[in-house]
Structure 1
Amino acid sequence: MVRSLLKTAFLPLLLHIPAYADMIGGELSAGVYSHAPKGYATYDFYDTESKTSVEDTLHWEESRDLFFKAYFEHPVSFLPNIKLEYSNFSHEGSGEVSDFSWGGISGFTGDIYNTMDMQAFDVTLYYELLDNWASFDAGLTLRRIYGDVYLETRTMMMNQPYDYKSERAEYDEWIPMVYLKTRFELPNTELMLQAELNAISYEDSTMYDALFTLRYTFGMGMGIEGGYRMIHLEDNNLGANLAIDVDFRGPYAAVVWDF
């Protein structure tokens, strides 16, 4: 499937590569984003198709994490430019549940504690199809997501825990996605609007990662930007018996250096 996506994404691009290209340059950025989760997760050994709300049952709340990006561009017009990105997602929650099932835990009533950790690493190959006051890039991203969801039950007696059970669902997956990016420089200002998208949908899986940005450049390529990020992950086979259908949304801010 990845080979087919490569052909589909890159063949039209190769036919429309402009005759010019930028000199060697790039962009580095580091930022923090706040993401509030909404949706469901399932860790089901018995095919009960039960869904667990990440907000109401797992008690995931808004969290803040770091991300890093690097773009590298060159003057060889027929070779794609490269973008690298690393992001981290983490949530934790605790609370009371009733008749709760998760993995090998079935019909539990009491207290639970759980964590979600997800690392995401992107390699993107893209072409600049338009490059002036308005620009447009297109390419293909290969994203690796890996991590785990850990959950433990806590049975209390006389306000003291006396029995623990735990489950850990691990996952490690490569996801190919179409990459699009456009930006517009606002005339007579140091402001720029930008939108960036990675997206794919196939079989029982859908994922997109969209950013909408306003940037201000001070000088020497240094600047700050802020905006809104929306991530949707729906995968019925993320790991063994693990399924997820969750949205992560919230604002972000970053410092950038365009060199």
Structure 2
Amino acid sequence: MHAGKHSKQAMVGSQGPAAWKNRKEEDIQMKLHRLLITAALLFPVTAMADTIGLYVGAGQWDHEATGGFRDSGTVNIDSGALNLVDNREGYFYVNIEHPVPLIPNIRLASTDLVHNGANGTVTGTFDGQTFTATNVTSIIDFSHTDVTLYYELLDNVVSLDLGITARQLDGQIYLTDGTNTGQVTLDEIVPMVYGKVAFDLPLTGLAIVGEGNFLSVGDADVTDISVKVTYETDFLLGVEAGVRTFSLVLDNVDTVTSDLEFSGPFVGLYLHF
């Protein structure tokens, strides 16, 4: 993983919390449009058949942040000391499945993952800036977009999918006390192993699903796991609810060390064509 760093001079006023929030709202709309356009290009209406499946889903994830981080400094910055507010944000996904041998199925997914803090306490250095204040404003943003290629190894009462994911991180860690400002930007593609197992409950429309992406290489240990219950009606519409946990453990990767976890319940709707 690579974390790009910017000094205070590179952080103009337009990059403060308010401007960042506006940018993220625009990003949400752009990501959704891109997912839908990509799905339309990959899955033309004329190709629809009983052997081809399309899943389009969206929902909200109510997550909290725990753990801490630091860069080249020796003092760990605890997320609790930043007074980060629990957040509820959207996620979107499109799955395209087909019967063509050897060609993988594709999953496109996007998750917004931002926590803001105010009146936080930071004593130490971050991005070369020294903080000794108790009025620190912070943004912890690990928003990401996934492109997953996978194969269905089992497709019955028990189904099993395995594949690989390219996760594009698009976020930042931002701290300011009004005098000092430090920022580490996150703009990196992270390769991960993808897996999904589902247990259908016959004649009920219900299923229990476990899904995850994993990376454990060198100084990086990243896991993103969700467990959910789904219910699919006879009219294409389905509902899902579960719990998701995303943890990011880094050990001096580009001077960044972290042990952060984002977790909480989610609920969503999907269409299955």
Whether TM exceeds 0.5 here: the answer is yes
2:61 to 26, 33, 36: 33
1:200 to 197, 215, 227: 215
1:180 paired with 2:195, answer yes
Whole-angstrom CA distance in 1 between matches of 2:260 and 2:250: 9
Of Structure 1 and Structure 2, the greater helix share is in 2
Equivalent residue runs for 1:71-86 within 5 Å: 71-86=95-110
List gaps (5 residues or longer) in structure 2.
1-49
Partner residue, 1:161: none
1:211 to 214, 218, 226: 226
In structure 2, give the amino acid aligned to 1:33. W
**3-state SS in 1 of match to 2:51:** coil
Percentage identity across aligned positions? 31
Whole-angstrom CA distance in 2 between matches of 1:84 and 1:169: 26
1:64 to 71, 88, 92: 88
Deviation at 1:134, TM superposition (A): 1.4
Deviation at 1:78, TM superposition (A): 1.3
1:99-153 superposed Cα distances (whole Å, 9 cap, x missing partner):
4432223251331111122321111111111111211111111111121111111
1:188-235 superposed Cα distances (whole Å, 9 cap, x missing partner):
212111110110101110111111010111222211110000111112
Whole-angstrom CA distance in 1 between matches of 2:190 and 2:229: 28
The 8 Å contact of residues 100 and 109 in structure 1, kept in 2 or not, is answered as no
The 8 Å contact of residues 118 and 138 in structure 2, kept in 1 or not, is answered as yes
Matched residue count: 224
Deviates more, 1:64-73 or 1:229-238: 229-238
In structure 1, give the amino acid aligned to 2:155. D
1:110 to 124, 134, 144: 134
The structure with the larger Rg is 1
Deviation at 1:182, TM superposition (A): 0.9
Cα distance, 1:221–1:96 mapped onto 2, change above 3 Å: closer
1:51 paired with 2:51, answer no
Deviates more, 1:242-251 or 1:201-210: 242-251
Whole-angstrom CA distance in 2 between matches of 1:38 and 1:96: 14
Partner residue, 2:182: 167
TM-score (norm 2): 0.77
1:147-172 superposed Cα distances (whole Å, 9 cap, x missing partner):
11111114xxxxxxxxx221121121
Of Structure 1 and Structure 2, the greater strand share is in 1
List gaps (5 residues or longer) in structure 1.
1-21, 155-163
The 8 Å contact of residues 28 and 257 in structure 1, kept in 2 or not, is answered as yes
Whole-angstrom CA distance in 2 between matches of 1:123 and 1:107: 38
Cα distance, 1:33–1:98 mapped onto 2, change above 3 Å: closer
In structure 2, give the amino acid aligned to 1:244. S
Whole-angstrom CA distance in 1 between matches of 2:98 and 2:233: 24
Deviates more, 1:81-90 or 1:98-107: 98-107
1:47-68 superposed Cα distances (whole Å, 9 cap, x missing partner):
x42211011x222131111110
Equivalent residue runs for 1:118-133 within 5 Å: 118-133=142-157
